[in-house]
Amino acid sequence: MKTSTPVSPALALVLAIALAPLAGDAAAQVSVALPTRGELQAALALPGDARRGKDAYGECQTCHRRDASGRANIDVPRLSGQHASVIIKQLMDIRSGARINPEMKDYVLEPELTLQDFADIAAYLQSLPVVGKIAQGPPELVPRGQALFDKDCATCHGARGEGRPELFHPMVASQHYGYLLRELDLIRDGGRGNSNPAMPPILKTYSADDKRAVAAYLAQLPAPAKP
């Protein structure tokens, strides 16, 4: 799979799984040419294979790097260590148009991709350690960002930005500052498409420095230890 624009993770739609998941060989062969809610459940139910995922990820390295550390200079997010459920959800949302990402959509619409490919890539990315330099924001804004995050964001994204994979809330700790800042603006203005509807009203109350502060705080947080 090729990528040219972030997939990712930053601040995702709250979605409780309501349909029974599909499993087995039949689900593994389902094409994602016409994405549906049922296909999301099917992809989530598949056991991802990180070894296969490493091969499938090969063409994604151009933008996201071999170690999935992203590219801060062009706002490509770090994907390493991200929850597999979040990766799958965002890929499926981009494919269906629920998440607005026209550059990425062309690649996730490749007809040869199956739900199993999505599950394998997600498993591989989740298995990777968080390495590489994370682009930082203004250090003087970090205390302000912590106060805002604790007040408005920690309930969903975790006290240390670790996320909640069962609700598709991404890990937002140790993510590139510029990418976080861009996504906060997109969420505020409706430009992301699949964001938690509770977020725009909060972000509309934020000043420019408030947004920079939250992004700076998250960028400098260490990635949570894996269980």
- pLDDT of 17 > 80? The answer is no
What pLDDT was estimated at residue 20? 26
Residue 108 or residue 154, greater confidence:
154
- pLDDT of 34 > 50? The answer is no
Residue 51 or residue 29, greater confidence:
51
Give percent of the chain above pLDDT 70.
84
What pLDDT was estimated at residue 12? 32
CA distance 121 to 46: 12
Q: Does the pTM exceed 0.85?
A: no
CA distance 60 to 77: 12
Indicate the average pLDDT of the chain: 85
Same fold, 25-127 and 139-220: yes
Range 160-183 average pLDDT: 97
- pLDDT of 6 > 90? The answer is no
Select from 1.10.150.20, 1.20.1250.20, 1.10.760.10, 3.30.465.10 the CATH code of 25-127.
1.10.760.10
Tens of pLDDT, residue by residue over 96-152, are: 889 998 878 888 888 888 899 999 999 999 999 998 899 999 999 999 999 999 999
Are the CB atoms for 221 and 134 separated by under 8 Å? no
DSSP bridge pairs for 114? 31
CA atoms within 13 A of residue 91's CA, in its CB half-sphere: 33
Are the CB atoms for 105 and 45 separated by under 8 Å? no
For the chain, report the end-to-end CA distance as a whole number of angstroms: 28
What pLDDT was estimated at residue 22? 27
- pLDDT of 7 > 60? The answer is no
Q: What is the CATH number of domain 139-220?
A: 1.10.760.10
CA distance 134 to 154: 21
In this structure, what token pair is assigned to residue 102?
């026209």
Nearest to 10 by CA among 222, 227, 214, 225: 214
What pLDDT was estimated at residue 11? 31
Q: Tokens 């670790």 identify what position? A: 162
Nearest to 40 by CA among 108, 107, 90, 113: 90
The answer for residues whose C-beta is within 8 angstroms of residue 67's C-beta and 6 or more apart is 80, 128, 131, 132
Single-letter amino acid code for the residue at 82: Q
Tens of pLDDT, residue by residue over 48-93, are: 999 999 999 988 889 999 999 999 999 999 999 999 999 999 999 9
CA distance 120 to 116: 6
Are the CB atoms for 64 and 2 separated by under 8 Å? no
In this structure, what token pair is assigned to residue 166?
């069962």
What pLDDT was estimated at residue 227? 67
- Specify burial of residue 185 (Cβ count, 10 A radius: 0-12, 13-18, 19+): middle
Q: Tokens 């603006």 identify what position? A: 185
Single-letter amino acid code for the residue at 33: A
- Domain ranges (residues) in the chain: 25-127, 139-220
What pLDDT was estimated at residue 110? 85
